[in-house]
Amino acid sequence: MENLNKTPLIDSLVTGLEMRNTLMVLGTMFLIMGLVVALCGETFKTKVNIGSEITTGESRNSWEVSETFSNGAEVRLILEIAAGKNWWLWFDVTDLPPPLDKSKQVDVSIIDPKGGKTNITLYYAQAGEAGQSVGVFFGATVNSNDGGLEMEGEYVISEYNKTKFYNYNNRFSAIKKYNGFYHAIITNGYELGSEPVRLTLKEQLFNLESPYFFLVPVGGLVMVIGIILYIVGWRSRKSKRKVRWKSIKDK
């Protein structure tokens, strides 16, 4: 008979404990979710161009071009090449997948202010019928990099055998890590037959912006809700323990 009288009390305690544990678990989950949302809103950034591109260095009928950059580091460097008159007389047959199975490669070495080299290959895919073909820039690969340039992962357009092809608006671009003198030179001119009509170096200023920054206050609010739920569950559990201990003493 005594056990039957205690059953409602035990059931009540168990139910209350489960509810309070649920509040604490929910509070922890909300806290973690809010933290993740806030971090995503803060850490995800995108480059937003400022103004138009600035032509800084240009050469005509030459294998090389150079310029002293003074707008600081962390600025986009753009290399433009206007093909020479004999470049499209023939295309190389390669083992690359289309459209690069018939293409022309232009090797370029870019020397940074500290003497480091970034060696790249620009790929031009054959377009048009034989005898009337032209080369269309497909992308550039990085063969070696001493650190003067940082590739922009968001402009990887293709990958073949772990080799990434970069294309920024049909040109090669990278973020220069130093301020000062940069020198670009075509190193396989003997294969091309004639100098490029024009070599151009350009700069593009940009800002890093957080398009999802609105998620930061949203995440903060979710975290606050989580903290409140956890505290309510924890304090209720603590209070219930005191009431239960007092009831036992009274008996």
State the DSSP code for 171. B
CA distance 82 to 198: 5
User: If you average pLDDT over every residue of the chain, what do you get?
Assistant: 83
CA distance 140 to 125: 12
Extract the tokens encoding 210.
Answer: 């957080």
Extract the tokens encoding 112.
Answer: 């940074």
Residue pLDDT, tens place only, 179-199: 999 999 999 998 998 999 999
Average pLDDT score over residue span 225-236: 80
**Sign of the torsion formed by the C-alpha atoms of 163, 177, 58 and 173:** positive
Average pLDDT score over residue span 189-216: 84
CA dihedral (161, 94, 194, 190) in degrees, to 10, reads 80
Q: What is the pLDDT of residue 69?
A: 87
CA distance 168 to 170: 5
Q: What is the pLDDT of residue 1?
A: 43
Q: What is the pLDDT of residue 222?
A: 81
Residues 56/201, Cβ–Cβ less than 8 Å: yes
Residues 91/164, Cβ–Cβ less than 8 Å: no
State the DSSP code for 148. S
Task: Write out the H or E segment, with its range, that includes residue 109.
Answer: strand 102-111
